[in-house]
A and B are shown apart, each in its own frame.
Chain A
Amino acid sequence: MINKVIIIFCLVSSVVFSQIKVVTTTTVIYDLVKNIGGDQVEVEFLSRGDQDVHFLEVLPSYMMKLRSADIFFQIGLQLEMWAPQLVDGSRNSSLIIVYLSDVITPKEVPTTKVDASQGDVHPQGNPHYWLDPDNAKKIATKIYEELSNHSPGFDSYFKKNLENYLSKINKKINEWEGKMLQLKQKNIICFHSSWIYFTDRFGLDISGYVEPKPGIPPTPSHNAEIIRIIQQKKIKLILTDVFYSESAPKQIANATGVKVLKLPTQVYGLENIKSYIEMMDYIVNQITSNG
């Protein structure tokens, strides 16, 4: 009898007290999962904040992380082309894979046939949607739903965390909108097509990209074209992700006096950026103080 009680207690406690093991492809998702899951979730990320998520090496250590995971959150829209190899390598047949792009409306979805002559175009749309904080709220809500589905016993705990987080981010959105108001309709140049969700959200206009086409390295003739646009439209800023080469933006800056801002697009993209809110704070502050 005592043995039975012990076994039942062990089974119940393993269900009730075991953490949900979550792996995320990016550090932004990691931060959101931490906020919603709290201490009921054990979460790890694959791509560091200073890495280009497009190109991650297929490392067996990532497979080991996925091997024991319950849920694997991905950005989706074919950003993580390397992920299926990791999932296969993990041999985890009970792994739940969640594409967070399912809950957002993608931008720049091609309407014609896509081929490599257009550069690295994502056929399902631009995947950098987390740079719109309204999309971050949708991601957080989706994370809550998935965690709750997995462990319904903690639904109220996850829901409370979600509400707290949404309240926090809503306040921040008001603050960011207020700061960005001064730059509405201002033209900027971006290095890569990572910024469309951010600029659309806060009313900036992208006049051109340092990359001639997505993922294609800058060329002298294209740099000359960007210099012409900057001079013509009196543009003050080039935005670039922290992991891209500074070489071409600096050449353009030398010719025009434009300011190059290397900005984190992931949590831990810079040493002092430890959360999504800190990242967005940094981006907004840098742009407003230099724009």
Chain B
Amino acid sequence: MQRLILSFQLLVGFSFSFAQTSINPDISAIGTFNTFTNFIKDTPEYGKLNFDIPEFELFVDGYLNPYARATFNVAFHEGEFHAEEIYAQVVRGLPLDVQIKAGKYLLGFGKINTVHPHAWSFIYRPLYHQIYFGDEGLNDIGADLSFILPTGDVYTALELGIFKGDALTNEHHHEDGHDSEEEEGHYEMDRGNSPIFVGRLGSFISLGDFSNIEIGLSGSYGVHSKTDFYSSDDSTARPSNSSLNYFYGGLDFKYKYRPDSYTSFAVQGEALWNRRNVLRKDDFGLDVQENINTFGAFIYLDYQFNKIFSVGSKYDFTYGIIGDEPNFNTLASDDQNMTSGIEGWLGYYPFEETLALRLGVQYLMFNYADGSERDGETTINLQLIFSLGPHKAHPF
């Protein structure tokens, strides 16, 4: 362990000593512009052409020294700037060929979460991401270690990380800045300084010259809330303090067949199991702790039928209702309500990585446990993605 720390210190020290002699890093910017029409009853946008504020991501990326790289990614999203990713990564030179990544970044839970949305084949974030990871995906501050396991010619990587846990709470702040107000059916939420743990074991298997498959197992564990609650009707009793834990289990796979430069067929899917402690009122109005088990999954097909066109379809399912603000203490009745969706798209890529035009349609269906009726929602989106500067090759 001491050797590991010493090596890391040497490498970081090395990076500072070389900082002034380094040449310029790669700088690139990717813009996204969405126009959409939805058919959601009783909304002012119904049937009209709407324009989203254009978004962009600015990437600054390069080697710090022969052993380490750094990446900065600033995003302009919904009219606001924020740091999407800031991290350094030691890529070689450590004992056991370990790689260390530290900073703020998209976590390696599943495969799609680490891929920036402009590089997805589809337009809409998978539904279970929206419920369990939030609109920006599972993005957190911390560090992870990555090991390549000795599995012969099969590439098998194990990633283990510890993170602050902001990813669990980012989406639950109220607009007035108070995220700890007790509301009806909600509990005071304070995670304190409880870290969360995230890991993934993934194997890549080459099935020949033209096809490959990757399979991964992910897990995340930690405290999602700490809360005071009353478990007796004695109003003078001290409230109990409880840590409410969660466990996310994930399964992902991707298969791609690419017989030539102009044709490819990809199938990719991910599933998440969420087991979580929640607090609920019992029949007597007392707080009780329960466990809930919920799920989410998606699968998509993407067929590139010539150099510049692709067509695809995605099926999505999740517990929870898309658009509702999740409440992780109770999840309200989100262990019973469900959303499912179908998305289809046509992609046009006239100039390699520099320009993409995608026409997508998504249809969402809602299923409420109490029998409430809600019409399905259709959204049609025309998306333009444009890229300036050097662009890295996309990983499998």
Q: Which residues of A contact B (CB under 8 A)?
A: 48, 50-52, 55-61, 63-64, 67, 81-82, 85, 88, 91-93, 116, 120, 215-217, 243, 245
Residues of B near A92 (CB, < 8 A) are 92, 97
CB–CB A61/B155 < 8 A: yes
Identify A48's interface contact among B99, B209, B214, CB under 8 A: B209
CA of A55 to CA of B154, assembled, Å: 23
Interface check B102, CB cutoff 8 A: no
7 contacts between A and B (CB under 8 A): A55-B261, A57-B394, A59-B396, A61-B155, A91-B92, A120-B352, A215-B352
Q: Select from chain A the residue with minimum beta-carbon distance to B350.
A: A217
Q: Select from chain B the residue with minimum beta-carbon distance to A63.
A: B155
Given the interface pairs A91-B92, A91-B97, A93-B67, the reply to whether A59 lies near B212 with Cβ below 8 Å is yes
8 Å CB interface, B244-300 against A: 258, 260-262
- Give the Cβ gap from B345 to chain A, nearest Cβ, in Å: 21
- Give the Cβ gap from B292 to chain A, nearest Cβ, in Å: 36
CA of A56 to CA of B258, assembled, Å: 11
CB–CB A59/B393 < 8 A: no
Interface check B242, CB cutoff 8 A: no
- Give the Cβ gap from B159 to chain A, nearest Cβ, in Å: 13
Identify A85's interface contact among B155, B157, B307, B393, CB under 8 A: B393
Identify A55's interface contact among B97, B157, B308, B393, CB under 8 A: B393
Given the interface pairs A61-B204, A217-B307, the reply to whether A88 lies near B395 with Cβ below 8 Å is no
Q: Select from chain A the residue with minimum beta-carbon distance to B152.
A: A64
CA of A120 to CA of B391, assembled, Å: 12
Given the interface pairs A60-B204, A67-B148, A88-B91, the reply to whether A245 lies near B392 with Cβ below 8 Å is no
Interface check B93, CB cutoff 8 A: yes
CA of A216 to CA of B390, assembled, Å: 16
Identify B306's interface contact among A58, A61, A91, A245, CB under 8 A: A245
Given the interface pairs A61-B155, A88-B92, the reply to whether A217 lies near B393 with Cβ below 8 Å is no
Residues of B near A60 (CB, < 8 A) are 155, 157, 204, 214, 396
Given A60-B155, A120-B352, list of 13 further CB < 8 A pairs? A50-B260, A57-B394, A58-B393, A58-B395, A61-B153, A64-B155, A67-B148, A85-B392, A85-B395, A91-B92, A93-B92, A116-B388, A217-B307
CB–CB B92/A59 < 8 A: no
CB–CB B67/A243 < 8 A: no
8 Å CB interface, B204-222 against A: 204, 206, 209, 212, 214
- Give the Cβ gap from B286 to chain A, nearest Cβ, in Å: 53
Given the interface pairs A61-B212, A116-B354, the reply to whether A81 lies near B260 with Cβ below 8 Å is no
Interface check B69, CB cutoff 8 A: yes
Interface check B351, CB cutoff 8 A: yes
Identify A245's interface contact among B154, B262, B354, CB under 8 A: B262
CA of A92 to CA of B99, assembled, Å: 11
Q: Select from chain A the residue with minimum beta-carbon distance to B155.
A: A60
Q: Select from chain B the residue with minimum beta-carbon distance to A67.
A: B148
CB–CB B396/A243 < 8 A: no
Q: Is chain B's interface secondary structure helix, strand, loop, or mixed overall? A: loop
- Give the Cβ gap from B355 to chain A, nearest Cβ, in Å: 10
Residues of A near B394 (CB, < 8 A) are 57-58
CB–CB B91/A59 < 8 A: no
Given the interface pairs A59-B206, A59-B212, A67-B148, the reply to whether A217 lies near B308 with Cβ below 8 Å is yes
CB–CB B209/A64 < 8 A: no
Q: Select from chain A the residue with minimum beta-carbon distance to B205.
A: A61
CB–CB B91/A61 < 8 A: no
Q: Select from chain A the residue with minimum beta-carbon distance to B93.
A: A93
Q: Select from chain B the residue with minimum beta-carbon distance to A88.
A: B91
CA of A91 to CA of B147, assembled, Å: 10
- Give the Cβ gap from A114 to chain B, nearest Cβ, in Å: 12
A-B pair count, CB < 8 Å, reads: 72
Residues of A near B350 (CB, < 8 A) are 217
* Contact bitstring B371-396, A, C-beta under 8 A = 1, else 0: 00000000000000000101011111
CB–CB A59/B204 < 8 A: yes
Identify B99's interface contact among A50, A57, A85, A91, CB under 8 A: A91
CA of A85 to CA of B26, assembled, Å: 14
CA of A55 to CA of B306, assembled, Å: 15
8 Å CB interface, B4-41 against A: none
CA of A91 to CA of B350, assembled, Å: 35
CB–CB A57/B91 < 8 A: no
Residues of B near A61 (CB, < 8 A) are 153, 155, 204, 206, 212
CB–CB A243/B92 < 8 A: no
Given the interface pairs A58-B395, A85-B395, A243-B261, the reply to whether A64 lies near B91 with Cβ below 8 Å is no
CB–CB A64/B261 < 8 A: no
Q: Select from chain A the residue with minimum beta-carbon distance to B97.
A: A91
CB–CB A216/B351 < 8 A: yes
Identify B307's interface contact among A81, A116, A245, CB under 8 A: A245
Residues of B near A56 (CB, < 8 A) are 393
CA of A58 to CA of B352, assembled, Å: 16
CA of A139 to CA of B389, assembled, Å: 31
- Give the Cβ gap from A96 to chain B, nearest Cβ, in Å: 13
- Give the Cβ gap from A7 to chain B, nearest Cβ, in Å: 24
CA of A152 to CA of B58, assembled, Å: 48
CB–CB A81/B393 < 8 A: yes
Residues of A near B206 (CB, < 8 A) are 59, 61
Residues of B near A215 (CB, < 8 A) are 352
- Give the Cβ gap from B248 to chain A, nearest Cβ, in Å: 24
8 Å CB interface, B76-129 against A: 91-93, 97, 99
CA of A67 to CA of B67, assembled, Å: 15
CB–CB A51/B261 < 8 A: yes
Residues of B near A64 (CB, < 8 A) are 153-155
- Give the Cβ gap from A191 to chain B, nearest Cβ, in Å: 13
- Give the Cβ gap from B267 to chain A, nearest Cβ, in Å: 16
Query: Across chains A and B, which 9 residue pairs bring their CB atoms closest together, nearest first?
Result: A60-B155, A82-B393, A60-B204, A91-B97, A93-B92, A61-B206, A88-B91, A58-B395, A93-B93
8 Å CB interface, B338-356 against A: 350-352, 354
- Give the Cβ gap from A88 to chain B, nearest Cβ, in Å: 4
CB–CB B261/A52 < 8 A: yes
Residues of A near B392 (CB, < 8 A) are 81-82, 85
Identify A91's interface contact among B148, B204, B395, CB under 8 A: B148
CA of A52 to CA of B263, assembled, Å: 13
